[in-house]
Homo-oligomer: A and B are copies of this chain.
């Protein structure tokens, strides 16, 4: 009851040795044209498919990397996954996805969750904060790359530059003459949102302005909408003239509520969001947004991880961790204008 034909089967029908078949299959080593043709015919005849388990065992590599994330449906994660699969494909690697439960709170747990998978390296999308970043040392010998802006000693990291993004938004508003610039944070568990909040506050103070923190949202458009209805008065009175929202969904909700309140965007209030992800969903979008370049981050994460994996295979030890931040770009669609005069 053999499920798959093996090298031995091909070798038998072709009348050559296993090694010759292997040479044809891998392309390594010399084989005469006649023999190659004979082997290829035999392969077709018996329906040979290389057994990747045996290959992996022999070569010590699976040609696959693992990706761990908490929520596959989150806006950014899809972009990341896109970049990761794209870059991995280009290098002939497959991508194995593992969704982490909310009970996972440490990097060590993430490692355990992926320990038994057939993979050569790991990319962890760290939307939530893990508690052992300072003390963590890898158990596995597979290289680990974290997608986070937090500092970690023992692993490579890469992320969008959340702090630079917040500064860019504040500066953009300020350069239009705004001084009453508010920030709408995302949920507390989001590392990205926290960094944005801190950088926002710091920059505001640097410019001699007072930070104006709105109550933190849940990333949804409905939250932004409800909040917009509440703060309409503050905008009308000029207590707020610009809002930096931690994501586009909430910004879009704000936008619509403020318009419905009879306010003009950007006339009465400027708006900047983050993600640059709504243009397919929302028609005629007029919302300035910071593009996180998720696919680019995903691609680079793969490059870092595979470079480490290959170095390890050659030399036996991992290269020193690298840490990268990718700058965000402000995409202008006309939701920021000169500050209103009151």
Q: Which A residues contact B (CB, under 8 angstroms)?
A: 1, 3-4, 47, 49-54, 56-57, 60, 62-64, 66, 72-73, 78-79, 81-82, 85-86, 89, 94-99, 115-118, 139-141, 219-222, 224-225, 249, 252-253, 256-257, 278-285, 312, 316
- CB of B94 within 8 A of CB of A95, answer no
Q: Which residues of B contact A63 (CB under 8 A)?
A: 116
Question: A221-B282, A280-B249 known; A94 and B85 CB under 8 Å?
Answer: no
Give the number of copies in the complex: 2
Contact assessment for A85 and B62 in the assembled complex, using a CB-CB cutoff below 8 Å:
no
Distance between A95 CB and nearest chain B CB, rounded to angstroms: 5
Question: Is the Cβ of B141 less than 8 Å from the Cβ of A283?
Answer: no
Asked if B54 contacts A57 (CB within 8 A), the reply is yes
Contact of A73 among B49, B79, B312 (CB under 8 A): B79
Nearest CB of B to A54, in Å: 5
State in angstroms the CA–CA spacing of A220 and B62 once bound together. Answer: 39
How far is A226 from B81 in the complex, measured between Cα atoms in Å? Answer: 31
Known: A1-B316, A118-B52. A222 touches B97 (CB 8 A): no
- For A117, list chain B residues within 8 Å (CB): 52, 64, 94
